[in-house]
Structure 1
Amino acid sequence: MSGAGDEPFIAAVKPLVDAIGGELVPPDEAGPEDVVLAWEGADVVAVRLPQLADSLDHLLAALERKQGKPLAELDRKAKQQIVRTLEARGAFSVRHGVETVASALGVSRFTVYNYLNREKEPVNREKGPERPRG
């Protein structure tokens, strides 16, 4: 895939590529959707990005590894945090994203929507929700 001098560059980008669920391929095998990385003026390696649906599965697996146990075994507060993290990473823009996340968390789609909506509702925790005046 590369010359011996390129190995430190490839070693440096590999953790990032792994984190996003990508694949390193030789630059001469790069397709139109791949990202070719150059080092010191020469094409060294190409990154094959994952499909969005694969990315969600990869994100869920990474979060499970980080938690050290299946996501379905987490408490409600931890599951809410997982949903916030996934929302920030764009997980719910993927087709069937809510269903996939609900299945991984061992909750219903309705529960995932509740976790998402809960974050968007302005609530003063000391006074409770604001009430309309009138």
Structure 2
Amino acid sequence: MTGPAEHPLLAAVRPLVDALGAELIVPARAAADDVLLAWEGEDVIAVRLPGLSESLDRILAALERHHGRPLSELDRKTKQDVVRTLETRGAFSVRHGVETVASALGVSRFTIYNYVNHANEQRAKARGAGEAAPRGD
């Protein structure tokens, strides 16, 4: 769906569609669960979202590209950061998400749970530090 006269809506949404691992579909072939995008009342394109497990694989691949090497080769601190990012993005709500991430990072499921707990403790500390201490009058 590219061409010299590409619709401005296509150009605008293409980076998001690519990042999500979604697929652009002509409106006539859109299924009920596809997202139909219109411009000035005219259906321009439909977006077919990937399944959740495909999304997790895509996120892991993007993280590998970002870090420039396999996730299993990252140091402990960076792996913790990756787990924090994945938790924020909902990776562990996907069936077998913990196992998939553990395999990609080259660690055990137990280690993933430890990293998640560590991230939660850090967030709790940060929230506590951000609150003003009560003042005595």
Short-chain TM bin: 0.7 to 0.9
1:5-84 alignment, distance < 5 Å: 7-84=7-84
- 1:6 CA drift (Å): 5.0
Unmatched 5+ stretches in structure 2: 127-137
Runs of 4+ in 1 over 2 A off after TM superposition: 1-8, 120-124
- Distance in 1 of aligned mates of 2:10 and 2:47: 11
Unmatched 5+ stretches in structure 1: 125-134
- 1:41 CA drift (Å): 1.3
Greater shift after overlay, 6-15 or 23-32?
6-15
Given that 1:26 and 1:46 are in contact with CA atoms closer than 8 Å, whether structure 2 keeps it comes out as: yes
Q: Deviations over 1:61-106 (max 9, x none)?
A: 1111111111111100000000000000000000000000000001
Q: Deviations over 1:26-67 (max 9, x none)?
A: 011100110000012100000000101111001101111111
**Matched residue pairs, number?**
124
Partner of 2:31, secondary structure, is coil
TM-score, normalised via structure 2 length:
0.84
TM-score, normalised via structure 1 length:
0.85
- Distance in 2 of aligned mates of 1:45 and 1:58: 23
Q: Tell me what 2:91 maps to.
A: 91
- 1:120 CA drift (Å): 2.2
